[in-house]
């Protein structure tokens, strides 16, 4: 016999399947909050079984919400709604401002549109958003030759650029295609290929306006060079100061 759970709002007992249906019919506000919690948990990468257990619902219901989040309706606004849901999800980060210093700090990881922290090693979408807005224009082409789960290409599509992604891992390419399959008016085009970053012969010469990962690598090299220079300069100054102290001591 299925274990029953008690409704927190009226005290009645239901199976897990009945409980989500009961909330939707009798406690609409709480149902919307439940779906929001599930959505947030999915976005940060929580396991479906864990989400279901914590919320006294079935795994099938969690999967249903997950599927809804990947099915979008066209809206010419700054947000979208999953079909059959009252939840508003943002197309863009709230109160976004371009970074203007060399130290970047974000209020959170960022989970607008289809961004998610599930894929190991992916970074905050605030990073490509800043770079793309500052170093490319609408309609220009951005290349990400290690595309992973598609964080950069999601941003190119949202920001009306053409995004080209390449990854040697077919599963990563499959995930990127899923993450960039949303429909939004006035969005950019995206194409994704399984391939080796060392062999990009299918791309026409001089057709790329922003080479994303190359840009990051160059920026890191410049940063490390600057840090090395500062350290060497500091050591040089300390050495000279040491010589001066030694000379003064010798005079005494």
Tokens of 183: 């429909």
Spell out the domain ranges in the chain.
5-69, 71-252
Fold topology of 71-252: Rossmann fold (3.40.50)
- Are the beta carbons of 159 and 138 closer than 8 angstroms? yes
Contacts of 66-73 with C-beta under 8 Å, sequence gap 24+, read 66/38, 66/42, 69/39, 69/42, 69/114, 70/114, 70/178, 70/181, 70/182, 72/182, 72/183, 72/184, 73/183
pLDDT in tens, 116-143: 877 877 889 999 999 999 888 999 999 9
Give backbone dihedrals phi and psi of 209, rounded to 5 degrees, phi first.
Answer: -95, -30
The reported pTM is: 0.57
pLDDT in tens, 46-92: 788 888 888 888 888 888 877 766 554 334 345 555 444 444 567 88
Mean pLDDT of 14-31: 83
pLDDT in tens, 203-233: 888 888 776 665 666 666 677 777 888 888 8
| Strand pairing report for 141-144 and 89-90 | unpaired
pLDDT in tens, 140-172: 999 999 999 999 999 999 999 999 999 999 988
In CATH, the architecture of 5-69 is Orthogonal Bundle (1.10)
């Amino acid at each position: 016999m299925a274990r029953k759970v008690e409704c927190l709002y009226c005290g009645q007992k239901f199976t897990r399947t009945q409980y989500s249906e009961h909330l939707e019919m009798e406690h609409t506000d709480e149902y919307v909050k439940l779906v929001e919690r599930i959505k947030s948990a999915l976005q940060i990468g929580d396991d479906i079984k864990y989400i279901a257990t914590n919320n006294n619902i079935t795994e099938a219901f969690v999967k249903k919400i997950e599927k809804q989040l990947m099915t979008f309706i066209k809206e010419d606004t700054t947000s979208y709604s999953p079909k059959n849901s009252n939840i508003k999800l943002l197309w863009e980060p709230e109160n976004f401002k371009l970074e203007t210093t060399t130290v970047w700090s974000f209020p959170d990881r960022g989970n607008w549109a289809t961004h998610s922290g599930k894929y190991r090693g992916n970074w905050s979408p605030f990073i490509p958003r800043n770079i793309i807005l500052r170093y490319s224009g609408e309609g220009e082409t951005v290349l990400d030759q290690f595309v992973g789960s598609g964080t950069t290409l999601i941003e190119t599509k949202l920001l009306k650029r053409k995004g080209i992604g390449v990854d040697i891992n077919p599963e990563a390419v499959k995930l990127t295609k899923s993450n960039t399959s949303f429909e939004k008016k006035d969005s950019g085009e995206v194409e994704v290929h399984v391939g080796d970053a060392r062999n990009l012969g299918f791309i026409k010469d001089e057709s790329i306006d922003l080479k994303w990962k190359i840009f990051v690598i160059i920026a890191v090299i410049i940063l490390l060079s600057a840090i090395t220079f500062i350290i060497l300069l500091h050591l040089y100054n300390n050495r000279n100061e040491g010589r001066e102290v030694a000379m003064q001591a010798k005079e005494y």
